[in-house]
Amino acid sequence: MFQNSKIDKTEKQGVLLDESGTLFFVVGNTRIEIAEHFCGHGKALPELLSDAVRYTAGNVTH
């Protein structure tokens, strides 16, 4: 079923890769498909996080 698994056998959590190349995050009996929804030519994640922090800091009200 899965080609590659990085599962902590005692905790039943980790990441699985199925034969079609789809990644899943697993916790207990819950399996969540991992999919990225970022544009290939857009900003990298660190830059997006930095922008989010700057935006939030600029909109803080006291």
At residue 1, the pLDDT reads 47
d(CA 13, CA 21) in angstroms, rounded, equals 19
pTM beyond 0.75, yes or no: no
Of 36, 39, 34, 47, give the one whose Cα is nearest residue 6. 34
Per-residue pLDDT of the chain (62 residues; tens, 9 = 90+): 455 555 555 567 888 888 998 888 888 889 999 887 666 788 887 888 899 999 998 887 76
pLDDT for position 7: 53
**CB crowding 33-59: b at 16 or more within 10 Å, else e:** eeeeeeeeeeeeeeeeeeeeeeeeeee
What element of type H or E holds 51? helix 45-58
3-state secondary structure of 50: helix
